[in-house]
Amino acid sequence: MIGVLAFWIGALVIAAAALPIAFVLLRRFPDAGAGLTPVLGLVLSSYTYFILRTLHVLESGRGGSLLAVSLLALVGVVVARADRRFTATLQRIGPQAVLYAGIFTIAFFSYAAFRSYQSSIGGTEQPMDLMYLNAMLVSPEYPPHDPWLAGEPASYYYFGYLQAAMLTNVAGVPASVGYNLGLAAVFASSAAAVASVAAAVARWIFRTDRRRLVPVAASAAIVLLLFASSLIGIFEWSAAHETTSRPLYEAFGVENILPCEPDAGSEADCYRGGAVNRTNSWYPTEFWFWWRGSRVIDGTITEFPFFSFLLGDLHPHLTSIPLVLLALALAASTFRSRKPRSFATIRGQPFSCLAIAIVLGALAFQNAWDVITFAGLFVVAVMAVNLRRAPVTKAAVSTIGYTGPILLTAIVAYLPWLLDFHTAAGGLYPYVGTGTPPLEGFLQFGAPITASLALLAWVARRVPPGDWLRVAPFALWVPVLPLLLWAPLAAYHGELGNGLGARGAGGWITLALLGAITWANLTAAATLAARGRAAAIALAFAGLATLLLYGAELFLVRDVFYGSVPRLNTVFKLGYQAWILLAIAGGVGLASLLARGPSRMVGRLLAVPMAAILFLALIYPLLAVPNRTGAFSGESSTDGFAALARNNPAEYALVLWLDREVPASAIVVEAPSDSYSGNGGRVGSRTGRQTPIGWYFHEIQWRGSTDANHARLRAIQEKVDRVYNATTPDDLLAAVNDLDASYVVVGSPERSRYPSTSMTTMDQALDLVFEVGDVRVYAVPVRAVMSTS
């Protein structure tokens, strides 16, 4: 519990240190950015740590992290002293700052308690996430090394792991605890941030009824972002209790939940367990039934934030949620600016522009998929401000003069990472497969899209039709242009005919619906933006969200999955971005249903179906939480190695010994493994020590699926094979030295992969330095290294 408290205190201290900077960046916010200080402080302090480590100013360890936080606090003090309005702003927003600290605290401890009942770090991609967290903590030099590819720097967007490492160091807890509490901090930061953004937008919109509607919008946004889910929950519950209708399940594309038909073949996607295995309680007790909620649309990943937090992978798409909300806050605050933005603004506000550059650059460093979407949205916000005060040409010049240097600074600020970053992405391709059926799309995104449409309905009753008609023809180009681009691109690849037919009637209907909603939202947003009306912000968020979903129906980013499930990641990443945007727009939309006015009765009538859909969206988490936690039974711990210590004390002792005795720069040989293996790459994952090769497929994902990379990684695997298959001391020493390794681990994974490993040869050639149970560690004698070098 002391570690949990230290982690919480550390997060709030970092947030408090960033408060003066938030006042400068987000002064237009009613709370002056108080709700966004946890993420702002962590981004700025983590960047400070990263750049100072890269410049060899700081050493690894807790001291460097504390110094980075101290520098942030010092900058905050300087900013506060230079800001003549700081004291007045602090007095004005003091109660709100306490409120957001309270939201953060409740969310943090609630999630930590939930996670303590399933804290084990294993399965899915959690070993990979732990590997990167440990790399941030122990790498002797920065950029950090890749523990699964010795001698190489990390080639991934790892800023989220660095942020978790910062909090882990500040709190003084081990990585196995920091992993789980890092998840809790992301959950808490997301809650505070989305409440802040939704409350700000609602306050700007509902000026005459803000006391009542602002809390509704903030609360609804939290629910939509962190709790609302796919509508599949009711289908899972009905199937578990055998009250189903096969035609209904087939209509929504979830017949895979139902028991297999008697004549179903071995390849059929259906439930093969007995009824007794599905549930023995009011909720489904089938193992991980909730996993199906992340595969609602065939051939894609359809994660949403609640699922991600339920699963517990400390992955970039999850850790980036608070940062995305911060970028949205910057865009919203910019749109509300009273003054145009140009190069002169940079000369007058260099510190603010530098901070914005660090935030926007962090989007790529934390989750590369986000940078184009949300940095682009910031540019659009600047253009909207400038258009209100100048003709198009002059506004465009001013926008380039302001955003150009900021984006260039963002690139320069993150060059130490960019120079080592490789990607397997192979460019933009047309999607020519089966389109998303409308009911499957509704099952996945029905709740947030429907909630956002409430705001569109509220605005439609308040804008004269003539204003809409003047803008609508121009806004129509937004959904039309992607379609016009798709056709020649598909033809270029020789897939136009196939693409037109393969999409299917359902796919075309979904495309038309998403295009129409995008058109309506952006028409309304542009109409109101010209007047500087705040509702344009929420409508733009909603329009961008549906545009992303629309785009994922037409295009894909080619990657290593292209040959089998081509749009797997595209739908996943863009759908995730859309969910975040819709949470804000939907929160404000749900609040609009309660707004007073001449159409109040219409709002009340719309509230009924909205409430029904939101209720359906909350069934999934209601069922999934007790399933994931075992109904909160059993032992609880925030230590991700607690189960390892109980179930495999020898492997746990290995982790402790390696942490204590082996230098962080040493290379430790362990068996290579397939990706997604819980024990595969365990040394690199659990300790951050460099190993020759870990998860092969993931290294290909990170570095590119080229013939050269495959050949290089296979050669390393063969070198490791030589270590464990050596039959003479000389062969063994030659193999170990060829890997420049200092230690060799022999445990269950090694014995399983190399059953012929000779312990006699190991004992003759190497020094046994650790032995607990069936786990051994051998050190390479210094004399052996010298004699073969």
Same domain, 439 and 513: yes
In angstroms, what CA-CA distances link 20 with 35, 84, 453? 13, 11, 36
- The mean-pLDDT minimum among 102-111, 275-284, 371-380 falls in 275-284
Domain coverage including residue 495: 426-627
Give the distance, in angstroms, between the CA of residue 618 and the centroid of all CA atoms in the same chain: 21
Note the pLDDT tens digit of each residue in 706-747.
Answer: 899 999 999 999 999 999 999 999 999 999 999 999 999 999
| Neighbour order of strands in the sheet with 668-669 | 668-669, 743-746, 775-779, 767-772
Which bin fits 767, alpha (ψ -120 to 50), beta or left (φ > 0)? beta
Q: Which amino acid is at 584?
A: I
Contact 510, 551 (CB under 8 A): no
Tell me whether residue 307 is in a domain. no
| Residue 633 within any structural domain of the chain | no
Exposed, middle or buried, 770 (CB in 10 Å: 0-12/13-18/19+)? middle
494 pLDDT higher than 70: yes
What is the spatial distance between Cα 520 and Cα 540, in angstroms, rounded to a whole number?
10
CA gap 701, 678 in Å, rounded: 19
Element (H, E) at 502: helix 496-502
Burial of 183 (0-12, 13-18, 19+ CB in 10 A): buried
The reply to whether 276 and 374 lie within a common domain is no
Q: Is there a single domain that holds both residue 142 and residue 176?
A: yes
**Quick check: is 708 in a domain?**
yes
Question: What is the pLDDT confidence band of residue 532, given thresholds at 50, 70 and 90?
Answer: confident
What's residue 351's pLDDT?
95
One DSSP character per residue, 39-88 reads HHHHHHHHHHHHHHHHTT-S-SSHHHHHHHHHHHHHHHHHHHHH-TTHHH
- The residue out of 391, 418, 445 marking a domain boundary is 418
CA atoms of 606 and 589, how far apart (whole Å): 11
**pLDDT tens for each residue of 255-269:** 999 988 888 887 888
143 preceded by a cis bond (ω within 30 of 0)? yes
Q: Which two tokens stand for residue 180?
A: 């789980």
Residue 634 inside a domain? The answer is: no
Type of residue at 270: C
Tell me: do 215 and 240 sit in the same domain: no
Residues 696 and 743 in one domain: yes
Tokens in use for 535? 């509702």
pLDDT of 598 above 80 = no
Do residues 241 and 267 share a domain?
A: yes
**Chain-wide mean pLDDT for the chain?**
93
- 510 against 243, higher pLDDT: 510
Q: pLDDT, tens digit, for every residue of 145-178?
A: 999 999 999 999 999 999 999 999 999 999 999 9
| Averaged pLDDT for residues 455-479 | 90
Contact 583, 544 (CB under 8 A): no
- With respect to residue 637, please indicate whether it lies within any of the assigned structural domains: no
Give dist(CA 321, CA 192) in Å, integer: 11
**pLDDT at position 269, please?**
86
Is residue 678 included in any domain, yes or no? yes
Q: Which residue has the tokens 């910031």?
A: 378
Spatial separation of the C-alpha atoms in residues 147 and 517, rounded to whole Å: 46
Q: Per residue in 623-682, pLDDT tens?
A: 999 999 999 998 899 999 999 999 999 999 999 999 999 999 999 999 998 878 778 899
Over residues 513-540, the mean pLDDT reads 95
Any idea what DSSP says for residue 556? E
Sequence-separated (6 or more) residues with CB below 8 Å from residue 411: 361, 418
| 224 plus 239 within the same structural domain | no
DSSP character at residue 693: -
pLDDT at 783 over 60: no
**Within this chain, do residues 222 and 238 fall inside the same structural domain, yes or no?**
no
Q: Is residue 147 part of a domain?
A: yes
Q: Residues 414, 431: one domain? A: no
Q: What is the pLDDT of residues 23-68, one digit of tens each?
A: 999 999 999 999 999 999 999 999 999 999 999 999 888 999 999 9
Quick check: 786 pLDDT over 80?
A: no
Residue 446 shares a structural domain with residue 431: yes
pLDDT band at 275 (very low <50, low <70, confident <90, very high): low
Let me know whether 347 and 479 are in one domain.
Answer: no
Q: Any idea which residue has 């570690």 for tokens?
A: 3
pLDDT score recorded for residue 601: 66
According to DSSP, residue 494 is labeled T
Q: Give 88-145 pLDDT, tens digit per residue.
A: 999 999 999 999 999 999 999 999 999 999 999 988 999 999 999 999 999 999 999 9
SS3 (DSSP) at 632: coil
Element (H, E) at 224: helix 210-226
Count of the separate structural domains present in the chain: 4
466 falls within a domain: yes
Domain C-terminal end among 568, 600, 627: 627
Tell me which of 627, 650, 675 is where a domain ends: 627
Residues whose CB is less than 8 angstroms from the CB of residue 89 and which lie 6 or more positions away in sequence, other chains included: 23, 27, 32, 83
Quick one: pLDDT at residue 594? 87
Tell me, yes or no, whether 257 and 134 share the same domain.
no
Q: What is the pLDDT of residue 787?
A: 52
**201-242 confidence digits (pLDDT tens):** 999 999 877 778 999 999 999 999 999 999 999 999 999 998
